[in-house]
Structure 1
């Protein structure tokens, strides 16, 4: 069932709505052709014919960094101890078993889980391009198209961040697992990526997997492709100190400095993680208006560290949030964790307001994915909404006017009651309207790719 906007004009009555700066009771939202046409406050009861959304309604949440196939790792990679690098070996095992059909099934289930969590748009950092061993499918974009179809069928928007992944490390050829990630050269990557087209629910962006996976002399090719397309460009940056050390050994500079030298930074670019930065790195990112996507639940799951989010924002970087490896899929938890991590690091409270954290999860996340027309409850914006219960055991009690604080610091994905995309209800009363049994879909898809 393609994700097309609701053609028939619809009116929603929001019991409480977060309007970007405050929570307003009794808000009526009119929708036509998938967009908000009017927002009216001061309506204490639903107008005739309006559909009532009880609870707190936010703009749809944007998950700015996802690897859909990592959903199959949940509950497996948490066994025992290890590091990011030992986790990566387990990840390779799952990647080796995926086909276009099994990838579609897994991604559809993972994206349906996201819809249940109030996520209306996902940034899919996609590097699993070819068959095991690097053999090309008849359609070189079979895996990417599987992801586009999965998002459409799960009812959410997607920015497919087609990722250049050409080497195993600085000067190293791809290993046996990475052969299916690589197009050989950045020019070959660009030629394949050119064949991908957007749709009503989909936009196409680019990604540099990391400075270790794209040779320095080829970084500019990826950046130029994104610039010509006016597309978002994402890059894993300084997630591990080992990568920083290797980059300095190979190039005499940090990964951030290397990206700056080759024209990768800028307002259309988002650095993911940015955990281990120097003061100069922070100034380069902020000064170039490069955004930063923080993924706190993955960064703590992999013991990566706590990134300098406050300093980055102070220097000019917009912050967005992602669930990355899907240790959990809960953008409210990502927002909460960013603040709570900083409290642990500094032993002080209140680095961001609840409103600022919600902006990272909504408007700024959508902007990082190239959807500048989403993430707000305002006329002209895409009619993507998320409603959170205010009567669960987690959210009951606080005054409704404190709904933003309740959403960020108490609610979880389990409190999402409704998810609306393009004016259509994808989740109604906690049930996915297109994938009625999401747990079974997840269990079957994961069983099919586990060894």
Structure 2
């Protein structure tokens, strides 16, 4: 990611400053960071770059499986369950190579930039060649993702994932061999050779309690703790996983993770769907975050997680597009509130501001970018500007911009995406990937050949 030292001034017609929408805000930007914020600037200063509409901090997509983008529409045919969907997913994973994964991820991350996403958390577990043999570079697949994000112009936290078994006490299946390093020590040795760079952080992930033996969970957690890196885990996404965990270990997945030191302030549980009251208290009390992925959770018929209860117990919320049934963080924010309304038959569980915080500052924090996701001096100059004159957003008063963003706007309303003070998307067009739809179509077709 190129960061220019040349000072720039941006003038925001309307800016969401975390608690309210402020008209006329000028930003001084240098070395990829916001150096000063000047509210009450009614007209653009001389030489300023003008951002018409509502400008938010850049959005953070806290949970992504880039290759799942190739499944869009294909997995919508007919009926089934999470487990039948998984078989189709495995077939797609089998066809990935470092080159095809790079091409697909570059296009997917460009699609994210068009949707206003400036940082992605990539939950990465396709490590080796089919059959489990390492590539000459054991991190060839991860490096393909890091390079794809750089070319698409967005930040990435590569959550290198330990995936060692097919179920409790079961070896990997044929499909899963390319996910597995054999044991957690081998996983740690491999991912320790990954290097951070300007646009990239390296974190860790436990795929799930069924995919990492209990006696190896501490190795993964310790690796992340030593590096002060984010640690993510799929948690209680399916009742079948809960039942199997109870049968084998006599406790819930959340309790098993707590027992082995996985929960804590740098950890994020993804989905957290089927939890007991004790689980909720355990997660919240430990400061463990919750990443909700509503469009995937409803697409796979997983259920509605207790996001409000988790937050009330102290679990910070973030959002992810996960399987990329759609890539739209505004839809994820809206869906979290609307799902809770359907579940409780009452309205107003989160303010629009709280939902935007989940999509911005709290999402970035979950990915280890604590200095991103706000419009304030010292923060990274990552911005997303929404049109306020589209058929979806026209009409409401600008001071209601947060409500308009969450409850009316979509990714199609993103006009500008700025990362490190530079346009990645300008006037709705990607500045680095000229034909994003074409790149997506070509990359997906290559996996069907």
TM range (shorter): over 0.9
Residue in 1 aligned with 2:14?
16
Per-residue CA deviations over 1:71-108 (Å, capped at 9, x if unaligned) read: 00001000000000000000001000000000000000
Task: Give, in whole Å, the separation in 2 of the partners of 1:274 and 1:205.
Answer: 20
Per-residue CA deviations over 1:254-300 (Å, capped at 9, x if unaligned) read: 00000000000000000000000000000000000000000000000
User: Is the partner of 1:139 in helix, strand or coil?
Assistant: coil
User: Is the partner of 2:107 in helix, strand or coil?
Assistant: helix
2:100 is aligned with 1:119: no
Match of 2:203 among 181, 194, 205: 205
Q: CA RMSD in A?
A: 0.4
Task: Give, in whole Å, the separation in 2 of the partners of 1:171 and 1:432.
Answer: 47
User: Is the partner of 1:77 in helix, strand or coil?
Assistant: helix
Cα drift, residue 4 of structure 1: 1.7
TM-score by structure 2 length?
A: 1.00
Per-residue CA deviations over 1:368-403 (Å, capped at 9, x if unaligned) read: 000000000000000000000000000000000000
Map 1:211-360 onto structure 2 (within 5 A): 211-360=209-358
Map 1:3-152 onto structure 2 (within 5 A): 3-152=1-150
Cα drift, residue 348 of structure 1: 0.4
Q: Which runs of 5+ in 1 are unaligned?
A: none
Question: How many matched pairs?
Answer: 449
Task: Give, in whole Å, the separation in 1 of the partners of 2:158 and 2:195.
Answer: 10
2:371 is aligned with 1:377: no
Q: Which runs of 5+ in 2 are unaligned?
A: none
Task: Give, in whole Å, the separation in 2 of the partners of 1:276 and 1:82.
Answer: 19
Per-residue CA deviations over 1:122-147 (Å, capped at 9, x if unaligned) read: 00000000000001100000000000
Match of 1:405 among 381, 403, 406: 403
Cα drift, residue 329 of structure 1: 0.1
Do 1:72 and 1:450's aligned partners in 2 also have CA atoms closer than 8 Å?
A: no
Task: Give, in whole Å, the separation in 1 of the partners of 2:350 and 2:59.
Answer: 18
Task: Give, in whole Å, the separation in 1 of the partners of 2:337 and 2:364.
Answer: 20
Task: Give, in whole Å, the separation in 2 of the partners of 1:322 and 1:449.
Answer: 24
Residue in 1 aligned with 2:164?
166
Task: Give, in whole Å, the separation in 2 of the partners of 1:416 and 1:9.
Answer: 25
User: Is the partner of 2:418 in helix, strand or coil?
Assistant: strand
Which ranges of 4 or more aligned residues in structure 1 deviate by more than 3 Å?
A: none
Residue in 2 aligned with 1:428?
426
Cα drift, residue 7 of structure 1: 2.0
Task: Give, in whole Å, the separation in 2 of the partners of 1:261 and 1:416.
Answer: 44
Task: Give, in whole Å, the separation in 1 of the partners of 2:437 and 2:7.
Answer: 33
Cα drift, residue 6 of structure 1: 2.6
